[in-house]
Amino acid sequence: MTRPAIKRLVRLLTAVELTIACVAMVMIFVLILFQAVQRYLPVPQIVWTGELSQFALIWLTFAAAGVLVTRNGHIALQIVDNLPSPVLVRVVQALAMALVTVIAALFTWACWELVYVAGFLTSPALGLPMSWVYAIALVGLASTTLRAAVDAVQVARFGAPASEGSAAGPAEGPAEGEAAR
């Protein structure tokens, strides 16, 4: 597979993950709003709205996790990013992404077992197979694992991507051939 083809594939997967996350967010908003309105109307209560909104929150969380790792949008303490040594910043960030990779891989394995074991369980109100609920989490965790592994290798090879507010990064420091002042 050529490099442009890989980039197109990553863009496509990112778009799919973000679409799932956006649909889940809209579902949460509409279902919770509907639940709140239901309480004040003289209509029978629909019990599955709360359950589906909880599932949508799970789907939102895991569908967006891989994209956030790629875009460096996850919650992180960026204390090390401001150190004067770009090499130290690179090593710490590469190790951090490697740790994220290992943890995400372990969660992926656990989720795989959960999907396999929970195949016969159904949700109480909807009767939705729980393996379907966990399947999106499995895909999100697999995406997080792969994206974190790629990011760890890229940070180790090329340095951390320059981010807003970051003092260290590959663009920082004297250019090649220039003396530091």
Please give the angle made by the CA atoms of 160, 153 and 18, to the nearest 5 degrees: 75
Number of domains composing the chain = 1
In the three-class reduction of DSSP (H, G, I as helix; E, B as strand; rest coil), residue 129 is classed as strand
- In this structure, is residue 110 part of a structural domain? yes
- In this structure, is residue 125 part of a structural domain? yes
Give the residue from 55, 56, 75 showing the smallest Cα distance to 65.
Answer: 75
- In this structure, is residue 163 part of a structural domain? no
Partnered with residue 129 across adjacent β-strands are 122
Phi, psi of 121 (to 5 degrees): -85, 145
- In this structure, is residue 170 part of a structural domain? no
Q: State the CB neighbour count (10 A cutoff) for residue 178.
A: 8
Domain carrying residue 138: 3-158
Contacts of 174 (CB under 8 A, 6+ apart): 180, 181
- In this structure, is residue 174 part of a structural domain? no
- In this structure, is residue 119 part of a structural domain? yes
Judged by average pLDDT, the poorest of 19-33, 102-116, 158-172 is 158-172
pLDDT, mean of residues 54-82: 87
- In this structure, is residue 44 part of a structural domain? yes
Judged by average pLDDT, the poorest of 70-74, 163-167, 173-177 is 173-177
Task: Give residue 179's pLDDT band: very low, low, confident or very high (50, 70, 90).
Answer: very low
- In this structure, is residue 166 part of a structural domain? no
pTM over 0.85? The answer is no
Q: What is the Cα–Cα distance from 62 to 107, expressed in whole angstroms?
A: 11
Give the CA distances from residue 95 to residues 53, 64, 170, in Å, rounded to whole numbers and listed in that order: 36, 22, 17
